[in-house]
Chain A
Amino acid sequence: MFVENCEQVTCRLFKSGAGEFIFSEVMDLKELLSGNEAIARGAYEAGVTVAAAYPGTPSTEILENFSRYPGVYAEWAPNEKVALEVGIGASLAGARTLVAMKHVGVNVAADPLLTFAYTGVNGGFVLVSADDPGMHSSQNEQDNRHYARFAKIPLLEPGDSQEAKEMVGLALDISEQFDTPVMLRTTTRVAHSQGLVEIGGRSPRELRPYKKDPQKYLMVPAFARLRRNALEKRLALLKEYAEKSPLNFIEWRDKSIGVITSGISYQYVREALPEASVLKLGMTNPLPEAVIRRFAAGVKRLIVVEELEPFIQDQVSAMGIAATGKGFIPNSGELDTGILARKFSEAGILKPPVKTAAEGSARPEAPAAPGRPPVMCPGCPHRGLFYALKKLKLTVTGDIGCYTLSGLPPLEAMDCCICMGASIGAAHGVSKANPAMSGSTVAVIGDSTFLHSGVTGLLNMVYNNGSGTVIILDNRTTAMTGHQHHPGTGSTLMGTAAPAVDLETLVQALGVKRVRVVNPLDLAKTQAVLREETTAGEPSVVISRCPCVLLTRAAKPAVRVEKDKCIGCKVCIQLGCPSISMQDRKALVDPVSCTGCGLCVQVCQEGALVKGGDADA
């Protein structure tokens, strides 16, 4: 934390909706915060008392940070739908509430979201959707701004940490003023970039009184029809608000080019086109049509710059205003200043950059740089399970977690990965379509993912007389996102002890009669159990149980190589362990990173790899 030099006097720029600048001198405290830390701070300052989430990059740190503030309650829900429903209840009870999730999490929570838009709120409610353009840690790069339009709720898009903090408070004000949930949509570069943020105090809020009101909250058809009308009325009021909101402001500069932009794209536009006039939209649903028309009329050429889909541009075009943007700006991946400069220059809007003599002279050709894909850690228990699956030549329907990395070389032991919880339904579908595959197809799913959305898939497999094998990779944590607790770990986000669900009892209650538990670091036993269960002809669950190696950090002595026995066969290399390499045609084990898990000792047929601490042979 950067709280030194706290009494800085700075000159801060406020921008009004009319595009004029107001200067005000304020005494303030600035800290370098990531967008996620700023959102947590903003929620704390704005009096949020309840927050819920399921971890997902790039949203996870919001709840982790928020939970550390005094006087608040925060929890990990088993999935995003439950998190949102907890948030709906908290709002109903009158609390200011925040619910956070990654973009694909909103798919899971979409069902309550679209009807919550009808009921509206009691306490202010903000839903943070953290999108991932460029798919740094995601399976797709869907543009969740469409959800706000789909649900007909207000949408705010911060472009840096300061805005992220301020917009949380504004979102809650809008929520209470217009009786609606509000979406705050960030992207990876806002969520995970740090910038200076002015820190304020907390404005405590009393719970708003709860009043029973079935016509507002009980969405049966007769009442939902009433709320459907209320939704349209509210949207019209929100349009008026958007026209006057300081969230949407014009910076008049050179009027030959005018750019409409939002979120992180604003930062790239200010660098790539420093002279252009800019309409920065902080509120992008509903759009401020009159402001857009005024801006368009004031510039010669109108361009919309936004990451991913032409969300703003299509609506501007539908207003009958001539605008370009997605014609030459990519609609996939992240933007940056360099991409914009190049695309604007290719489109003839910017002059091509003048190269200096030094830039003009090309560098010599670089040697090829091999990639560095993420890999399972040394000692990762998943490695043993996937090595066994590969040996048995099984078709593996996969799921979301660290273990998805097993699909990459050298293990290549996973056939598909779609979304959270999909593995079990997919395995069941495979065997129903082609019974010949049923004895050779397994589903793999992590413990946190199973509790997120795998339970219903397994229930379905049992109910519909499936005969698949489901392997629960129980590493006792939500590892991929940084070791968050879940209903099976025995602890909560706030650090209190909690009942831990018993996976064996749970799956038995769903009707699974064959439940086996293996330690995946015991290869022979694991393979034997997998062979038995896949040929059993009835639903079975194998719980592959061993805590994440990063969680325990209880390393045993490193494995040693007896070089005279090593024949250079590279069988150990096929484990894909970053601690093992070849040097002079012999295996080499890095003693610093090796955790002594012993998998390589088990696969070596020559006895050349020896457990550390064992006597010399």
Chain B
Amino acid sequence: MLKPVDILMVGVGGQGTILASKILARAALETGYDIKVSEIHGMAQRGGSVVTQVRLGEKVFSPLIPAGGADVVLAFEKLEGLRLMPFLKPDGAMIINEQEIPPVPVLVGAAEYPADIIEYIRSAARHVVAVDALAVAEKCGNVKAANVVLLGVMARRLPFAREVWERALAGCVPAKLLEVNKAAFAAGYEYKGI
């Protein structure tokens, strides 16, 4: 009996959440899970929030994760992680990229970007891993692989074998970018954050 796992991925259009969810779904499929993935299209390219919900289990009915139901929130951007905190289970894990992308209300001075997001999340969630994924990806050779770094950080906390992840990665990224993505995944997988 496979234990259900509910994962919310959130970021800003263009951050690569969709590729990350594809790799995750492929790994889950090989492990034998039933899967539902829900995305909202349409506004993604226009700089809005992008939320992808991934539900895994023996049999999954709803494609949507209820409030307080996510085992993992994988936040590609800090503010979006904060916004989705109500979805995190009390004993769930928040994996959060330290990158800040100010939304237009902040850019035009109508709102403030909260200064203390990571502190708040550490006080409110049981398990938190904060990563500077851009810096880690840059060390691996391509800043655009930040999404795969974050996926790697999450991967170690999910019940799939590492080889399964690596096969899924190879199946989803173009061959010429595989080496840098492998390095990014490994850096995330072995990331020693708390």
Contact = CB atoms under 8 A, between A and B. Distances in A.
A271 B59 CA distance: 11
A367 B114 contact: yes
Contacts of A23: none
29 contacts: A136-B40, A136-B42, A188-B40, A189-B38, A192-B40, A192-B41, A193-B38, A194-B39, A196-B35, A336-B66, A359-B68, A359-B90, A366-B85, A368-B114, A370-B105, A370-B111, A370-B112, A371-B103, A371-B111, A372-B12, A372-B47, A374-B43, A377-B46, A405-B46, A409-B104, A409-B105, A573-B108, A573-B109, A578-B104
Contacts of A194: 25, 35-39, 63
Interface string B114-133: 11110010011010000000
Interface string A334-375: 001110010000000000000010110001101111111111
Given A194-B37, A582-B109, A57 B42 contact: yes
Nearest to A593: B14
A189 B63 contact: yes
Interface in A421-456: none
Q: Give the one of B36, B68, B114, B115 with max A CB within 10 A.
A: B36
A4 B104 contact: no
A58 B36 contact: no
Given A58-B42, A195-B60, A480-B42, 17 more contacts: A2-B25, A2-B26, A194-B37, A267-B62, A268-B61, A338-B68, A363-B123, A366-B82, A367-B114, A369-B83, A370-B112, A370-B113, A372-B49, A373-B48, A374-B46, A570-B109, A578-B107
Contact of B47 (A136, A359, A482, A578): A578
Contacts, number: 173
B104 A576 contact: yes
A550 B45 CA distance: 9
B46 A358 contact: no
Nearest to B81: A369
A507 interface: no
Contact-residue bracket for chain B = 35 or more
A57 B37 contact: no
Interface string B28-71: 01100011111111110111110000000000111110111100
Contact of B107 (A338, A358, A580): A580
Per DSSP, are chain A's interface residues mostly helix, strand or loop, or mixed?
loop
B95 interface: no
B110 interface: yes
A402 B115 CA distance: 32
Q: Which 9 A-B pairs have the closest CB atoms?
A: A338-B66, A137-B42, A370-B111, A374-B46, A374-B48, A193-B63, A367-B114, A372-B103, A358-B90
